[in-house]
Amino acid sequence: MILNNLKHYNEIKCLSNEELIQLASEIRDRIIEVVSQRGGHLAPSLGTVDLTLALLSVFDPIADRIVWDVGHQSYAWKILTGRNDRFDTLRQLHGISGFTNRDESPCDAFSTGHSSTSISAALGMAIARDLKSGSGHSVAIIGDGALTGGMSFEALNHAGHLQPNKFIVILNDNTMSISKNVGGLQKYMARMYASKSYNTLKKQIWDLSSSLPSSIRRRFIYGAQKLEESMLNIMVPNIIFEDLGFKYVGPIDGHDIPHLISIFNRVKKYMVGPVLIHVVTKKGKGYSPAEKDASAYHGVAPFAMDKEMGSSLNSKAKSYSNVMGETLIDLAKNNPNLVAITAAMVAGTGLSKFEELFPNRLFDVGIAEQHAVTFAAGMATKGIKPFVAIYSTFTQRALDQIIHDVAMPRLPVVFCLDRAGIVGEDGATHQGAFDLAFLSYIPNLVILAPSCAEELDAMLRWAANYQEGPVAIRYPRGTAPYRGIKLDSFSLAKAEILKSETDISQPPIAFIAVGDALQTAQDTAKILAEDDIFPVIVNLRSIKPLDEKTILALAQGCKLIFSFENGSIINGVGARIAQLSSGSKARVINFGYPDKFIPHGKTSLLKKEIAFDPPSLATIVKDNCE
C-alpha cells in the first residue's frame, strides 16, 4: 500500500498520477474504516481527498499556509500530514480532533470548527507575511455552503481591496447550487436577464424557432433553454468574483488530480493578486451511500461496516430535536402564522418533517445565524411567530442581533437552542457551554430549560402563545427521557420540587438542577443515600425569571445549596442563585463546567474529566457536609 509506506507529506510530490489516484482510493478506505467506528464528518472529507492530494503536490503545509474552512473536510489532510498512525483516535478523548487544530500539528494553519472563517484568517496570514517580508502562499479552502455566511463576503471584499499577491481562495463547490445559496448572485442574473443585448439575442433565437416544424421546434427550444441555463451557471460566478477584485479560474473537476495539480502550479507561478479557483467536487465521493445521500452522511455516528449499505447504528430513541420538531408541527397545524427558521441545520434541528409538511413556512437561511435572528425579528413585527432553531454553539455568532434586534424591542421570537451542554466528540468548538452565561444578562428575555420530553413539549406550547418578548429554550443533544409526569401547561417562574425524604421547610441540603442536569442531581442523590444524606431536589425549569420564592425558602432553611447545570460555572445559573441567596444562612456551591474549553471525547468521559459526574459530585457534597 502506498499510504502505509509514506513517511512524509513531501513524498507525495514524487508520486506519479497513477500512484496519486491509487493513494486517493486508499485514503478513502481509511476514512470510511475509522469513521464507521468513531463517527465523524464522512461525506465532506470523502469529497476533498483528491483536492487534498493536489494541494500537497504543489504547496508545502509549513512554508505555505493552508486554511480549511470549518475543518470538517480535512480528514485526508490529517492522514497525509503525519497523523495516519493516530487517525484511529479521531474525536476520542486525548485523540486527534475532528477539525483542524493548531495544537495538534504545525501543518494546521488555523484552528477551526465554525463556518465562513477561512478567507478572513488566510487573508490575515497573507498580510502578516507581507508586513514581515516573508514568503509562501496563503490558501483558503471554503465550501459553497460556507460561502453563504456573511463573514466570507466581508473577507472577499477586503481581499479585493487589498489585492495581496500569493493569496488563493479555493471554492469547493460540492454540487450544491451556488445561485441558491448565495442570494447576491441573483442580482447579477437579473441584470443579465434585463440587458438589451441578451434579450435581443434571445428574441432572434425565438423568431428563428418559429419557422421550424413543431416537432423540431419543441426540441430546439428545450435545447436553447438548457444552453442558456448552463451559460449562466458558468458566467455568473466569474462575474461576481471578478467584480470583487479576484481573478477567477474555473470551474474545474475537483476529482481530476492531474488537472488540479496543473492549475495549482500555474496559479502559484504566474498569477498575481488574489485568485479564486472554482473546484467542483462530489460529497461522499467513493462511498455509494454517502454519494446518494450526502446530507445523511455529513456527520454520522458509528455505523456498521458495510461498504454498500452503510447501515447506521444510531439509536432509534426520540431525541430532544425530534420532540421539538414534532411539537412545532402540531402547533403549526392550528397556527398559520407560525414559521420555523434555521441556519443550514434543517435535519440536525429536527425540522425535516416540518419542511415536508410546510415547505413555505420553513426558512433555511444558510450559514448565516446573524441574518436568521434579525430576519425572524422582521417577521415578528408583522405578526408572524418565528421559532429559530440553532445549535447553542452557533448562537454565539448572533449575540448582538439577539440583544439589539429582538430583546430590546421585545419581539416575540422563540429561540430553540439545540445541543446545549457537552456534545461530545465534536469538541471545544461545538460544546454548548456558554449559552446560559451570555443570555442570562439580556433584559426582556425569558430562558427555559426542560429536563424531559414532556417539559420541552409544554414549554414550546407556552412559548407559542407568549407575546411579551423573546423566549430561549435550551436543550441537550441526545435522547429526551419521558419522566411520566403530567404537565397540562407550563407555569413561568415555577420550579418543580421533587419527592424527597425530607420536608422542604427544614431540609439539610438542597440540589437545584437546571434542565437535563436534573438526572445528574438525582444520580448524585442516590449515591449520597448510602450515607444517609437526603437532599431535597428542585427542578428549576424557568431560568429567567427564577422561582425566587422557592430559592429564598431553601436559602432560609438549608445549610448548603448545590446547583447543577450543564454549562459554564462563570455567570451561570448557580451564580445567580448564590447572589439571590446572599445574606441567608445557606452556603451555595455551584456545579457546572470549569473555566476552560472542554475538548472532544465521549460525553461520559468528559464529565468525569471535569468532575461533573455523579461519583465526583457526591464526594464533594460529602466533604462539605462533614
- Taken in order 512, 514, 520, 526, is the CA torsion positive or negative? positive
Q: Determine the pLDDT at residue 563.
A: 96
575 Cβ neighbours under 8 A, 6+ residues apart: 569, 590
pLDDT mean values, one per 10 residues, the chain (626 residues): 88 91 91 87 88 94 94 91 91 89 92 91 94 94 86 92 93 59 41 53 65 68 60 59 84 90 90 88 75 66 56 66 97 97 92 95 92 95 96 95 96 97 90 95 97 96 97 95 86 86 63 96 94 93 95 92 95 94 91 94 93 96 89
390, 176, 425, 4 alpha-carbon torsion, rounded to 10° = -170
- Taken in order 36, 41, 43, 46, is the CA torsion positive or negative? negative
User: What string of H, E and C letters represents the secondary structure of 458-492?
Assistant: HHHHHHHHCCCCCEEEECCCCECCCCCCCCCCCCC
* Inside any domain, residue 199: no
* Inside any domain, residue 217: no
| Beta strand pairing call for 542-544 and 446-448 | antiparallel
Nearest to 168 by CA among 58, 259, 14: 58
For the chain, what is the domain count? Answer: 3
| Radius of gyration of the chain, Cα coordinates, nearest whole angstrom | 27
Query: Within this chain, do residues 552 and 592 fall inside the same structural domain, yes or no?
Result: yes
Query: Within this chain, do residues 397 and 278 fall inside the same structural domain, yes or no?
Result: no
Q: Determine the pLDDT at residue 302.
A: 74
CATH number at residue 350: 3.40.50.970
What CA–CA distance (Å, rounded) separates 603 from 599?
10
Can you give the residue range of the structural domain that contains 33? Answer: 7-175+245-292
Give this prediction's pTM. 0.83
Query: Within this chain, do residues 379 and 522 fall inside the same structural domain, yes or no?
Result: no
CATH number at residue 523: 3.40.50.920
Out of 474, 506, 526, a domain closes at 474
* Inside any domain, residue 298: no
Out of 474, 504, 530, a domain closes at 474
51 Cβ neighbours under 8 A, 6+ residues apart: 141, 170, 172, 254, 260, 279, 281
Query: Within this chain, do residues 162 and 127 fall inside the same structural domain, yes or no?
Result: yes
Please state, as a whole number, how many other Cβ atoms lie within 10 Å of the Cβ of residue 582.
Answer: 10
Query: Within this chain, do residues 286 and 156 fall inside the same structural domain, yes or no?
Result: yes
* Inside any domain, residue 31: yes
Residues belonging to the active site: 283, 369, 397
Q: Determine the pLDDT at residue 194.
A: 46
Query: Within this chain, do residues 45 and 165 fall inside the same structural domain, yes or no?
Result: yes
Query: Within this chain, do residues 386 and 514 fall inside the same structural domain, yes or no?
Result: no
Out of 444, 474, 504, a domain closes at 474
Query: Within this chain, do residues 262 and 345 fall inside the same structural domain, yes or no?
Result: no
Query: Within this chain, do residues 131 and 254 fall inside the same structural domain, yes or no?
Result: yes
Q: Are 440 and 423 in contact (CB under 8 A)?
A: no
Omega cis (within 30) before 251: yes
Query: Within this chain, do residues 457 and 551 fall inside the same structural domain, yes or no?
Result: no
For helices 214-243 and 185-194, give the axis angle rounded to 10 degrees.
130
Query: Within this chain, do residues 284 and 328 fall inside the same structural domain, yes or no?
Result: no
The DSSP letter of residue 105 is: -
